[in-house]
Chains A and B, each alone.
Chain A
């Protein structure tokens, strides 16, 4: 199939950037979206032009690197997938496809479609862990039984891949889904409860410092999240936060 690509090109953080048009021919339905981008880049390199820069790594939907805003949606049309799992069979011959980077103050563009998501790492560093040093002498793994339902819910929250689609999608560039997934995972497990109050206060504080917007419950994040992280996690974080805020001394 033949397509028209409109791609955001920006040579660096200070460059203003603009959408540029690239026609591409001979795209096959079985190709993944990123393979289509590879094909474009091969052609650009062949012409001596600079290829389009984008983040990608595992290409199986788990590393969270790939991050394209395609036709007005994070990771493009289709649900429960990352950009690398989007296949060209979702498009038709003659389509025009808009490709942009994640847009958020907390995710500044580095180059073209590549953005800086280190704000997510800093939010995790603010408290997204259980403070347990490595030791061969921790409790036996089966010493504390955990109800299967809690373990499953914790797992569901923990499947977040940190891609940032929630932020990209949210009209407020809010990171609540991401932060709440980690807060929830640890709040649901007995191991995480010791530090639960400090964790939620610190992580939310860091989230605010990074310049993410606030949540207005549009629910867009949940729809676009490639891992289907639930809004329940945001409510749980709100609960955890309010309880912690009230009891903090």
Chain B
């Protein structure tokens, strides 16, 4: 198989404009006869479904939640990047492009990333027109904040609920098309198979999660907007239902899976508290604008803190190690996520972690509270304000900026972050890898597209903060509606696709067999039991640091776990009803396969880059050591019967517009 990314010729600034101008169109009368399936209703899915319907296609949208508004994009907190340069700080399309390429550690495709930066400004315009209430300054214009890995303020936000506001904007656009009858919404439906007819994606098999019925749905194109696969780690910041099944089923039907090992571990999450924990909660990266990250400088102090004999507030400045500021003076606490996460792990591994498990560092706002307090006292003309008064004023400012996040932290941990530093630790947050797509976002199965986190395209080996929302909406609003049309131009004479063909019958049978097997299995262990064990293997061996031994062992362990799963899992209840255990079992079955592929990919990539850190490949200072000569490519895996025999294809990345450099945030 030859991977052709179909990148348009010409200078990078003109590629997208030229491509749009030359792309084939479907005339409005023909669009009415073309059906499009959209799986997932997050930012990518909802925006794509709404836009395609506005253009005139007949859209069927699917989500497993009870409403399209609940897709996990809703939980994104910090913001969305756009090269608007409203702050006049030197931002530009090129700079956003460059920051994203660099942030991705030179493992993403230039043309796609440039397009992303190019359409970013339109996203903000579109969202404001929809009534998305972004934060504004007193003059009535939009406000911006900074995020990790960049030196401009280009992040638009709506308090700590940016994802929610953007998703509700896309959801309302979607509901408008549902009301018009242009989108038929299938909530509480989960895609279980992709149907491929004569090499083209022609539909899906979906399970109605209420009746349990398997339904056949046909279409001229299938858009997978089903999100990432972070839940392979069991504990992650993903929603409980987030899963890889749609993407994995496409993979098994022939879509190549790219860079599966590129996982983003977010540095600021609330640490794991116990064995029965079901998920991890992110504290927005925006907190790193003002919070300082530290651990005790001495092991004894860390030990005393862990035993509860010492309080963090009792340590003097000299007894603290602000390790990010120390190691990366120019970016400080705002280094990219992969760097910040690894640095936290490094300190904790050195025995300086600060909670009972030894896996936590401090995120401290006391300096910010004092700084803001002083400024506020000056503004109010209180020149002889006491320390208490200053702290009070400072707390008010911090509360106005981050109140909801502080409150969330306190609710979960029962600690007051205004008085004592927050404890944080890295957690799995996002997956850069995903289905391989070409410039048109089409997978290697013609007619099957992947948008948003479900594809691999824009973030390379590490995603910058506030770029996921940007990519989801860029794909859904501004890229796919054009590029899918290019494919559909050949489909105007196809007519309605029958669901009675062998391919549909066969795909439905495959799904039915999986369900029957799971329900009839006379095992004794719950689905979560296996999911937790898989998560542990993945986190230990394919998490923040990977090694040949660890990965080799992990592959064997996962294979054994998979075998045990099919023998020992117990799924109660029936197929013909609401059955959450069955839903989980179907998802975990796919995770156990994916996990192995991730480990294989990590093992194959003999370098460290972005979120992929191989212990064998690091500089003497412990920084990631890339091997550009041998690994400047996208790994794209072809399914071949089982994950162990997956075949690796390479898409070489040719950097023509950016000079490939060692990424430094020092």
Contacts and interface: CB of A to CB of B under 8 A. Distances in A.
Interface of A: 11-12, 28, 30-32, 34-35, 38-39, 42, 44-46, 48-51, 53, 55-65, 80-81, 85, 87, 89, 110-111, 114, 116-118, 120-121, 124-126, 128-136, 138-142, 145-148, 151-152, 154-155, 158-159, 161-162, 185-186, 189, 191-192
A63 B75 contact: yes
A35 B278 contact: yes
A80 B404 CA distance: 10
Given A32-B278, A186-B131, A58 B72 contact: yes
Contact of B74 (A42, A63, A118): A63
Given A141-B125, A147-B140, A121 B67 contact: yes
Contacts of A162: 67, 69-70
Given A85-B411, A141-B128, A133 B70 contact: no
A121 B526 CA distance: 34
Contacts of B237: 60
Given A121-B68, A124-B172, A138 B133 contact: no
Nearest to A34: B278
B47 interface: yes
Contacts of B580: 51, 53
B68 A155 contact: no
Contact of B69 (A121, A142, A147, A186): A121
B333 interface: no
A132 B134 CA distance: 17
B268 to A, nearest CB: 14
B408 interface: yes
Q: How extensive is the interface on chain B, given as a class?
A: 35 or more
A58 B74 contact: yes
Given A65-B65, A111-B577, A126 B179 contact: yes
A80 B407 contact: yes
Contact of A125 (B127, B141, B179, B528): B179
A103 B258 CA distance: 46
Given A148-B140, A162-B67, A129 B274 contact: no
Given A35-B276, A148-B137, A136 B122 contact: yes
A155 B158 contact: yes
Contact of B578 (A48, A111, A136): A111
A180 to B, nearest CB: 15
A89 B239 contact: no
Nearest to B473: A134
Given A38-B528, A85-B408, A138-B122, 12 more contacts: A30-B414, A34-B278, A42-B526, A57-B70, A57-B241, A58-B75, A60-B237, A87-B412, A110-B578, A121-B68, A134-B481, A139-B128
Given A30-B274, A58-B72, A124-B172, A116 B66 contact: yes
B660 interface: no
A85 B498 CA distance: 46
Given A64-B70, A65-B70, A138 B126 contact: yes
Given A63-B70, A158-B133, A38 B278 contact: yes
B173 A129 contact: yes
A171 to B, nearest CB: 24
A134 B131 contact: no
Contacts of B185: 121
